[in-house]
Structure 1
Amino acid sequence: MSRIGRKEIIIPQNIKADIENEIISINGPKGELSYKLSNSIQIEKIKNKLKLTKKYNDKKTQAVYGLSRSIINNMVIGVSQGFEKKLSIHGVGYRSQMEGKKLVLYVGYSHPVYINPPQDIQIEVENNINISIKGIDKETVGQIAAKIRSIRPPEPYKGKGIKYINENIKRKIGKAGK
């Protein structure tokens, strides 16, 4: 059983949290995020802390309890600091570039692959091989990074493809290694 839901969420000075009915809105220097809580979870604001409590004591409520706390905590972190995922491209002739807001990937296909990010996501390319995805919503940043990686995931023999910066790829020997 998770005990994450019991932890209080500390709100920094420059962040404002508003609770109306079951909707919580977090405002900060980077933007605004909102989340609708489940009917089985109750939230209260005490000075600069948010505390979640369960209305019922069943398995589903316990799961939603920890999830809600994590999502709200990620919202607070997102509007104050933001989230970032970094990807790296490996392979001969593999590269990327920006065309306006679109990301263009040349990763071994007969055509370039175009990615249109949502409005609240910023994508930057450094040295044609390093891609940085930034935003305030952790879920959206991770989803866009996973979408870019899925275009050409790293292969186990030479390691060619798109991978996360800190990702470790298990390499296979191949037929010459017998």
Structure 2
Amino acid sequence: MSRIGKKPIELPQGVEVSVEGNSVTVKGPKGSLEFSFNEDMKVLIDGNIVTVERPSETKTHRTLHGTTRAIINNMVVGVSEGYKKQLKMIGVGYRALLKGNTLVLSAGFSHPVELEVPVGLTCEVPKNTDIIISGIDKQLVGEFSANIRAVRPPEPYLGKGIRYVDEYVRRKEGKTAK
């Protein structure tokens, strides 16, 4: 039994969910999101509680059950509270700059790396080494944050690179002298 799939989703104040066929639309104070789920799943709305049901106990239906419920829950949290990821650049000369809708990173290469901020996300650079990505779509926020981190992942010897604020980088000892 999927324990996550069985949990009901409680809707906060100001969030509306509507189901048409096999698509769910979630509207809230921060915006609206839409998701097309598998036609075998049933999404039921009872007042301010949303539940997901599956037709059988096959492995594919069990996996779809939990995934569908988790995605709808992430949509509800996104339109009511939003998601935020914070990154920090560590290294001499490493800095970020926001030019319009483009994030320009100087990360130790011979050229600056330019990343286009996707539609639906907001990017802030409060200090030249801090980057804050926020939006209502959890998947989009996480993917763009991972793309920024992939420009220069943190390395274990000096700790230089781009990392999440709450990320722990295990440091290694370098060569030891005799």
What is residue 132 of structure 1 aligned with on the other side?
132
Does the CA contact (< 8 Å) of 1:40 and 1:56 recur in 2?
no
The answer to whether 1:60 aligns with 2:60 is yes
In 1, the alpha carbon distance for the partners of 2:35 and 2:71 equals 8
Q: How has the CA–CA distance of structure 1 residues 152 and 177 changed in structure 2, closer, same or farther, with 3 Å as cutoff?
A: farther
Does the CA contact (< 8 Å) of 2:8 and 2:49 recur in 1?
yes
Q: Over the residues paired in the alignment, what is the CA RMSD in angstroms?
A: 1.1
The amino acid of 1:74's aligned partner reads: N
Does the CA contact (< 8 Å) of 1:98 and 1:125 recur in 2?
yes
The answer to whether 1:13 aligns with 2:13 is yes
- Map 1:1-178 onto structure 2 (within 5 A): 2-176=2-176
- Structure 1, residues 55-95: CA drift from partner, whole Å, max 9, x if none? 12101110110011000000000001100000000001111
User: Cα distance, 1:176 vs. partner?
Assistant: 2.6
Q: How has the CA–CA distance of structure 1 residues 177 and 24 changed in structure 2, closer, same or farther, with 3 Å as cutoff?
A: farther
Structure 2 counterpart SS, 1:176 = coil
Does the CA contact (< 8 Å) of 2:29 and 2:79 recur in 1?
yes
Does the CA contact (< 8 Å) of 2:2 and 2:65 recur in 1?
no
User: Cα distance, 1:177 vs. partner?
Assistant: 6.3
The amino acid of 1:135's aligned partner reads: G
Structure 1 counterpart SS, 2:51 = strand
Structure 2 counterpart SS, 1:50 = strand
Unpaired segments of 5 or more residues in structure 1?
Answer: none
Structure 1 counterpart SS, 2:35 = strand
What is the number of residues matched between the two proteins? Answer: 178
TM-score, with length taken from structure 1:
0.97
In 1, the alpha carbon distance for the partners of 2:166 and 2:52 equals 34
- The alignment-based identity, stated in percent, is 43
Structure 2 counterpart SS, 1:39 = coil
Structure 2 counterpart SS, 1:126 = coil
The amino acid of 1:18's aligned partner reads: S
Unpaired segments of 5 or more residues in structure 2?
Answer: none
Structure 1 counterpart SS, 2:176 = helix
Structure 2 counterpart SS, 1:5 = helix
The amino acid of 2:153's aligned partner reads: P
